[in-house]
Structure 1
C-alpha cells in the first residue's frame, strides 16, 4: 500500500502508469450510467473516509462518485463534525480511523496534518489539497493536456498570478514529466519549492512569459481566510497578470488555458477568455474523477 501525498515523492514511471490507467478507466465507462459500477470494481469491500477541513466542490464530488463507481463506500465529513474541532490531535484521530476505514482522503489548510496522518494511519492517505500542494489537480491537468494536445514533454507551461499550492505541484510535475515551467507574477507570491529546480523559470513581465507558451494556467488570487484588505492588496499587485485576450495573443495560436476553478472573472482571468475555454475547464473537472480513481487503485497496488 502507498500514500499519494506529493508528486515529488512518486517516480516518473509510476505517475505515467497512473495516467495510462486513468485513460483506461475513462474509456471503460463510455456506455455506463454514472451510478453503475466499473466493470472491475477495484474498491469492492473498501471504506474510504473523505476528511475535509476546507470547503470543496470538485474534490468532494469527484472522489465520492469515484469511490461509488469502484464499488467502495465513502464517509464524507468535515473537521467541524469531529473532535479535531475540539483540539484532538491528528495523530490520535489517525490511529482511531485506522480501526474503521481503509483509506483517508484529506483536504486541509495545514500540510503537517498530512504528515501526521501518514505516520499514524495504517492504510493509504491521499492529499486532496493542502496549503502547500494539490497533486490530484495537477496530475488531472496533465492528463487533460495530453488528452487534448498530446505529450506534455518539452512543452512550455506558464503560471500567471499567485504561486499557490497548485503552482507548487506544477513545479514538482515539471521535473517528473520533463516540461518547462515558468512563473509570472509578483515576486512576493512566487512558489515555495523552486530552489535547485532545472525546469523552473521566473519572468516578471507577463507578455514575455507567455511568448511561445503551449499552456497558460491560473487560479484564484484569493483564499477564504483573507480579509477584504488583504484581497484588495493582492488584486492591485496582480492586476497585470490577468489572462486576457490581449495577453493570449502573445502565446502560441493553439495555446490552451487551464483554470481549476472557482473562477473570479475579471480578476485572474477575463470573462471573454473564460467563455472561450470553459469547456476545457469542464474537461479538467471531469478528469479529476478518472485520475483520482486511478490514484486510489495505485495506492492499493
Structure 2
C-alpha cells in the first residue's frame, strides 16, 4: 500500500502533486472527488495548521475527517500499533498521523491496508515541504536556478526540505551551529538526489557562506515540542542564527522569508522580518490546505 511517510516516497511524483495543488487551488478539479471517503486523523502532538488543513481539505473534497487524539485511542493505553492499523483499515479509506516517533508511523503503515500520510514526525514533515514548494513556485514561477537556505536547527522540516529541493532542481544550503546539523542519513540521500539532478547541497556554520546567492531564507523554532529540557542551551547556541534584517541583507535583493509556524518573534526571527515585505508566511500557511488536498486526492481517489 502506497503511503507518504517521507519525501522519498514521492520522489517520482513531487512535480505532479505540486501541479495538482495549483489546479485544485484554481478550482480546476471536479467537485467532490472524495465523496464517501473517510480519513482518520491521529494526533500524538498538538497542531493548528495540520489539523485544520486536513479536516477542511477532506470536507472541501467531499469526504469526512475523524479527529483522534492519543486519549481517544486504545493505542494510547498500550494497544499495539499493528492492531490499531489493522482495525482502522477496515473502517476508513486513509490514515493521517502526526506522531512523535518516526518509527511509529513506519509501523502503522506496515500493517495498514489503506494509505498512511505523515503529518509530522521527529524525522520529517513531507506535507510542509510540499506546501513550501508550492509557495515558492507561486512566487517565482519556477524552481530553476533558485536556492533555498535553512537557518538554525537542522530539524524535521529542514530534513524534508533537503530531500525535496534537489528533486525540483533547486540548490539548498543549511546554516547551523555544530551539533545542530540535519540527520546524517537524510543528508546522504539528499546529496545523491542533488548529484542526480545537477544541484548542490551545502552545510555550513558560516552564515555568510550559506546565504550566498540565496532566494529563499527559511527558519523554524529553536525549541520544538520535546526539546524543552534543552531550552537554555538551544537559545544560547542558536542566538547568532536569528534571521533578522542584517541576515536577510546577505541574501539576494528579491529573497523571500519563510517559516512553517508557529514562530517566536525575537528568537529565531525578528519581528521586522517575519512581519515585513519579504515574508510570505501566510501564503505558505494557506498553501498547507491546497497541498494537503492534492495529497488526499493523489492517495485516496
Match of 1:79 in 2: 70
Q: Where does structure 1 lack aligned partners over 5 or more consecutive residues? A: 30-37
CA contact (8 A) 1:213 1:255 kept: yes
Match of 1:296 in 2: 296
Q: Deviations over 1:248-298 (max 9, x none)?
A: 111101001100100011110001101105861111111111111111111
Q: Measure, in 2, the Cα distance between the counterparts of 1:153 and 1:222.
A: 33
Match of 1:170 in 2: 161
Q: Does 1:280 align with 2:280?
A: yes
Q: Measure, in 1, the Cα distance between the counterparts of 2:25 and 2:130.
A: 15
* Number of equivalences: 291
TM-score, normalization: structure 1?
Answer: 0.93
Match of 1:27 in 2: 26
Match of 1:8 in 2: 8
Q: Measure, in 1, the Cα distance between the counterparts of 2:153 and 2:227.
A: 14
Instruction: Using the TM superposition, give the Cα deviation of residue 207 of structure 1 relative to its aligned residue in structure 2, in angstroms.
Output: 2.5
Q: Where does structure 2 lack aligned partners over 5 or more consecutive residues? A: 195-199
Match of 1:245 in 2: 245
TM-score, normalization: structure 2?
Answer: 0.93
CA contact (8 A) 2:257 2:278 kept: no
Q: Secondary structure at the match of 1:194?
A: helix
Q: Deviations over 1:110-146 (max 9, x none)?
A: 1111111111111111110011000000111000011
Q: Does 1:146 align with 2:137?
A: yes
Q: Measure, in 2, the Cα distance between the counterparts of 1:277 and 1:125.
A: 38
Instruction: Using the TM superposition, give the Cα deviation of residue 214 of structure 1 relative to its aligned residue in structure 2, in angstroms.
Output: 0.5
Give the CA RMSD over aligned residues: 1.6
Instruction: Using the TM superposition, give the Cα deviation of residue 79 of structure 1 relative to its aligned residue in structure 2, in angstroms.
Output: 1.2
Q: Measure, in 2, the Cα distance between the counterparts of 1:172 and 1:224.
A: 23
Out of 114, 120, 127, which is 1:123 matched to?
114
CA contact (8 A) 2:20 2:294 kept: yes
Q: Does 1:161 align with 2:162?
A: no
CA gap of 1:59–1:23, structure 2 versus 1, over 3 A, is: same
Instruction: Using the TM superposition, give the Cα deviation of residue 2 of structure 1 relative to its aligned residue in structure 2, in angstroms.
Output: 2.7
